[in-house]
Amino acid sequence: MIKFYYHPSPNPAKVALFLEEAGLEYEVVPVDTRKGEQHEPAFLAINPNAKTPALTDGDAVLFDSTAILMYLARKTGKFGFEGTAPTDAEALSWLMFVATGIGPYSGQAVHFKHFAPEPKDYAVNRYLFEAERHWKLIDTKLSEGQYMAGDRYSIVDMSVWGWARAVPFILGEDAWNTLPNLKRFMDEINARPAAAAVNALAKRFTFKQDMDDQARDSLFPQNRRLAAG
Ligand SMILES: N[C@@H](CCC(=O)N[C@@H](CS)C(=O)NCC(=O)O)C(=O)O
């Protein structure tokens, strides 16, 4: 049976949506990253990068949400794009744009905006600027069709959905007013039973919420070097 290493944050959410949409059976293994469980040896044996999500399927061991989505699409024959048709090429580009643009830049925007110590104006401006630019590109793409790959619901949409749920936290509470096509897309996906199941999944577990010393040390271990002087 598939084992899904999960935390209720954007990258695992993409995978949770796939698992629910595809109706796959899976066992959830919660990884409480604010308690440092991502650094435990048993988890590092599955994901040496110490981040969620990860997934095992028999002997197959996967980490990185985009790799997992591509694997599951191949395994099930659902929600993927395998060929070299122009639409498949375009979908692949957008999938990687989410993996290498939306995720890392929005993640850093959140880090500097909400968690980094002062002075941070330069970093906040850089990452927020890029995150806003990236989300505008997604919004424009979604003005051209129902989904990221035209009229086909795919892993690109699941990838966008995982991160877009955090748009107000990333860009600000009024962000939906500036991204109407993304808002339309989110309303549509949020209405799907699979999205409701992902929301229910988060409620099955009690993950640490406090951003206290343990959480900061677990999520931002680089700060130990600053403290050491
Ligand atoms: N490229 C990776 C990034 C994974 C990632 O950053 N995961 C976050 C949650 S969205 C995490 O586990 N953070 C805990 C940490 O950084 O210690 C992916 O797409 O899976």
Give me the number of domains the chain comprises: 2
Distances from the Cα of 103 to the Cαs of 118, 159, 163, 185, in angstroms? 23, 9, 7, 18
Do 163 and 205 have their domain in common? no
Q: Is there a single domain that holds both residue 64 and residue 106?
A: no
Ligand 1 atom nearest 99 alpha carbon? 19
Closest alpha carbon to 219 in 29, 39, 42, 65: 39
Q: Which of 31, 40, 52 most suits a substitution to test ligand 1, by most atoms within 8 Å of the C-beta?
A: 52
Do residue 206 and residue 145 come from a single domain?
no
Q: Residue 17 is part of a domain; what is its CATH number?
A: 3.40.30.10
pTM: 0.98
Of 23-27, 83-87, 179-183, which gets the smallest average pLDDT? 83-87
Is the same domain home to 62 and 23? yes
Same domain, yes or no: 7 and 95: no
- Ligand 1 site residues (CB inside 6 A) read 7, 9-11, 33, 38, 50-53, 64-66, 103, 219
What is the CA(34)–ligand 1 centre distance, in A? Answer: 12
Mean per-residue pLDDT, 176-184: 98
Identify the band that residue 18 occupies on the pLDDT scale cut at 50, 70 and 90.
very high
Check whether residue 150 and residue 214 sit in a common domain: no
Asked if the structure places residue 202 within a domain, the reply is: yes
Report, in this order, helix, strand and coil percent for the chain, each rounded to 5. 60, 10, 30
Ligand 1 midpoint to CA 50 (Å): 8
Domain-embedded: residue 176: yes
> Both 150 and 212 in a single domain?
no
User: In this structure, are 99 and 161 located in the same domain?
Assistant: yes
Residues 163 and 129 in one domain: yes
User: Is the pLDDT assigned to residue 150 strictly greater than 90?
Assistant: no
What is the rounded average pLDDT of the residues 36-42? 98
Ligand 1 atom closest to Cα of residue 12: 10
Question: In the structure encoding, which two tokens stand for residue 188, read together?
Answer: 């549509």
Neighbours of 72 (CB within 10 A): 24
Percent of the chain surpassing pLDDT 70? 100
Same domain, yes or no: 117 and 70? no
DSSP state of 39: G
In this prediction, residues 143-167 reach a mean pLDDT of: 96
| Rg, Å, the chain Cα set | 18
Looking at residue 82, what is its pLDDT?
Answer: 84
2-17 per-position pLDDT tens digit: 999 999 999 999 999 9
Q: What is the pLDDT of residue 220?
A: 97
pLDDT the model gives residue 120: 97
Over pLDDT 90: what percentage of the chain?
97
Structure tokens at 120: 């941070």
The CATH code of the domain that includes 102 is 1.20.1050.10
Q: What is the pLDDT of residue 81?
A: 92
Domain that holds residue 56: 2-79+197-223
Average model confidence (pLDDT) for the chain? 97
- From the CA of 85, how far away is ligand 1's center (Å)? 31
- Look at residue 21 and tell me if it is in a domain: yes
Residues 143 and 107 in one domain: yes
pLDDT of residue 190 exceeding 90, the answer is yes
How far does the centroid of ligand 1 lie from the alpha carbon of residue 4, in Å? 14
Confidence (pLDDT) at 69: 98
The tens digit of pLDDT for each residue in 86-137 reads 999 999 999 999 999 999 999 999 999 999 999 999 999 999 999 999 999 9
Asked whether residue 228 is assigned to any structural domain, the reply reads: no
Q: Which residues pair with 6 in a beta bridge?
A: 30
Give the CA count within 13 Å in the CB-facing half-sphere of 212.
5
Residue 229 lies in a domain: no
According to the model, what pLDDT value does residue 229 have? 79
